[in-house]
């Protein structure tokens, strides 16, 4: 049964170590990049515009990202204060962005560019000390054996009305084997698309065991929108803070004890979308990152790469601002864990390894704020920015903070609490 996949799974020491690294890292770049980027209409364009396989297959011949410069990407990632990259090795369109041998439907065999961008990126990541994760779609609108069809891809793809499901799973496992064999140490595998066929036999037990056998340290996560399945090493939330389910599809019963990650878009799209200029402000993204950290969750922020291989300038601007913020305030985010007070409308708390609690005031209505009591007596409360004492009163109802307007920061007023 899929829901109990690798039920005897016990993470190795290396895996546990990587989970700690992951939780310390806090901030990563999500990259959606594929032949769909050419059309500038998001990564679901094949489905949304009902483009059949035989037409969509023309796209790779136009994919020629001559301006792709992995050193530039990775330097940008570092400048943004990010510690890892999660990139699409294959999205729902089924096109492999690397040198796959099990199918020629890949970047090396089908595009004029002809180079393995994942390999180029991995080499650069190794050079600059950034971990690389692969997003791999289980859903596949291209493979003829992805049959019976799932909830999506019904009708439009023009695939035959039959196929061998197990051949598809074999194919996927072979591609995963390639990814975990030919690219050195992989940070993790980030699955997506199982929700397309909730009742199929995904043979997850086999897939998860295979991954952990090939690279025991690699972290497995899946965007299946349900509670973690044995064999997974972290739990993720698409465009939601853990447990909030504002999107309506993260039907996860619980926030598990696994490391957590939330992914978010900079505008409203994952893949490059020319129509979508609805960019979120850096202030809003920083505040979401802080709240995620308050849940102990990583913030995986997406950029829809352009077909020429460049990062959108609007996204660069945002990343630079976030990096500057982290340069200054990173102590209150990196290496922390979820704070003693669950994130609230007013903000969040994080806790450093030495027990220091950081209170992040993201939204102050006026100068007084009552927050829940902390577990233990407060020894000192100071402003992170200048070390000045914070005025507060411990009451029966919690802690009453007095934060004069002059001390309030527009993005995040951080208090340092010693207990």
What the block records as the tokens of 55 is 């037409």
Q: In a 3-state reduction of DSSP, which class is residue 23?
A: helix
Q: In a 3-state reduction of DSSP, which class is residue 371?
A: strand
**Using CB under 6 A as the criterion, which residues of the chain lie in contact with ligand H57 when the complex forms?**
43-44, 151-152, 192, 195, 223, 238, 249, 263, 270
Q: How far is the CB of 127 from ligand H57 (least distance, A)?
A: 27
Q: How far is the CB of 223 from ligand H57 (least distance, A)?
A: 6
| Closer CB to ligand H57, 30 or 98, in the complex | 30
Asked if 10 contacts 209 with a C-beta cutoff of 8 angstroms, the reply is no
Asked if 85 contacts 120 with a C-beta cutoff of 8 angstroms, the reply is no
Q: Residue 279 and residue 170: Cα distance in Å, rounded? A: 40
| Closer CB to ligand H57, 23 or 223, in the complex | 223
| Closer CB to ligand H57, 204 or 263, in the complex | 263
Q: How far is the CB of 245 from ligand H57 (least distance, A)?
A: 11
Q: How far is the CB of 273 from ligand H57 (least distance, A)?
A: 11
Q: How far is the CB of 40 from ligand H57 (least distance, A)?
A: 15
Q: How far is the CB of 361 from ligand H57 (least distance, A)?
A: 31
Asked if 113 contacts 65 with a C-beta cutoff of 8 angstroms, the reply is yes
Asked if 91 contacts 37 with a C-beta cutoff of 8 angstroms, the reply is no
Asked if 74 contacts 128 with a C-beta cutoff of 8 angstroms, the reply is yes
Q: How far is the CB of 205 from ligand H57 (least distance, A)?
A: 24
Q: How far is the CB of 8 from ligand H57 (least distance, A)?
A: 29
Q: How far is the CB of 261 from ligand H57 (least distance, A)?
A: 11
Q: How far is the CB of 302 from ligand H57 (least distance, A)?
A: 7
Q: Which of 299, 391, 279, 309 is nearest to 120 (CA)?
A: 309
Burial of 10 (0-12, 13-18, 19+ CB in 10 A): exposed
CA distances from 323 to 187, 254, 281, 345, 410 (A): 22, 32, 14, 24, 17
Q: Residue 332 and residue 411: Cα distance in Å, rounded? A: 14
Burial of 316 (0-12, 13-18, 19+ CB in 10 A): middle
If one counts every other C-beta atom within 10 angstroms of the C-beta of residue 43, the result is: 25
| Closer CB to ligand H57, 35 or 357, in the complex | 35
What count of Cα atoms within 13 Å lies in the side-chain half-sphere of residue 244?
18
Residue nearest to ligand H57 (CB): 151
DSSP 390: P
| Closer CB to ligand H57, 160 or 248, in the complex | 248
| Closer CB to ligand H57, 47 or 318, in the complex | 47
Q: How far is the CB of 42 from ligand H57 (least distance, A)?
A: 8
Strand 260-265 to 131-137 pairing = unpaired
DSSP notation for 136-195 = EES--SS-TTS-S--SSSTTTS---S---HHHHHHHHHHHHHHHHHSSSS--EEEEE-GG
b/e per residue 69-93 (b: at least 16 CB within 10 A): ebeebbebbebbbbbbbbbbbbbbb
| Closer CB to ligand H57, 80 or 301, in the complex | 301
């Amino acid at each position: 049964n899929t829901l109990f996949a690798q039920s005897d799974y016990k993470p190795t020491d290396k895996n546990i170590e990587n989970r700690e690294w992951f939780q310390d890292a806090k901030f990563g770049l999500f990259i959606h990049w594929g032949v769909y980027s050419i059309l500038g209409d998001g990564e679901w364009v094949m489905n949304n515009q009902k483009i059949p396989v035989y037409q969509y297959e023309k796209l790779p011949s136009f994919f020629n990202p001559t301006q792709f410069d992995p050193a530039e990407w990775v330097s940008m990632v570092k400048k943004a204060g990010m510690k890892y990259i999660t990139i699409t090795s294959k999205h729902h369109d089924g096109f492999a962005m690397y040198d796959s041998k099990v199918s020629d439907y890949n970047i090396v065999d089908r595009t004029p560019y002809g180079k393995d961008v994942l390999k180029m990126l991995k080499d650069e990541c190794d050079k600059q000390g950034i971990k690389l994760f692969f997003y791999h779609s289980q859903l596949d609108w291209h493979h003829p054996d992805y049959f019976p069809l799932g909830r999506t891809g019904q009708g439009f793809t023009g695939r035959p009305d039959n196929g061998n499901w197990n051949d598809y799973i074999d194919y996927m496992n072979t591609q995963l084997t390639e990814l975990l064999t030919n690219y050195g140490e992989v940070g993790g595998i980030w699955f997506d698309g199982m929700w397309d066929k909730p009742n199929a036999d995904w043979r997850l037990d086999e897939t998860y065991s295979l991954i952990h056998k090939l690279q025991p340290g690699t972290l497995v996560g899946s965007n299946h929108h349900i509670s973690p399945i044995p064999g997974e090493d972290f739990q993720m939330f698409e465009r939601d803070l853990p447990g909030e389910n504002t999107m309506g599809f993260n039907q996860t019963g619980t926030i598990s004890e696994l490391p957590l990650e939330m992914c978010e878009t900079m505008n409203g799209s994952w893949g490059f979308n020319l129509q979508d200029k609805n960019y979120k402000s850096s202030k809003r993204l920083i505040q979401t990152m802080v709240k995620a950290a308050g849940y102990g969750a990583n913030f995986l922020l997406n950029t829809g790469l352009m077909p020429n291989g460049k990062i959108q300038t609007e996204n660069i601007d945002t990343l630079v601002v976030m990096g500057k913020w982290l340069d200054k305030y990173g102590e209150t985010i990196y290496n922390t864990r979820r704070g003693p007070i669950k994130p609230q409308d007013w903000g969040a708390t994080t806790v450093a390894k030495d027990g220091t609690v950081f209170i992040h005031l993201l939204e102050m209505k006026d100068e007084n704020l009552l927050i829940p009591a902390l577990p233990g007596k407060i020894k000192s409360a100071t402003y992170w920015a200048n070390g000045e004492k914070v005025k507060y009163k411990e009451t029966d109802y919690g802690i009453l903070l007095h934060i004069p307007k002059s001390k309030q920061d527009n993005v995040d007023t951080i208090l340092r609490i010693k207990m």
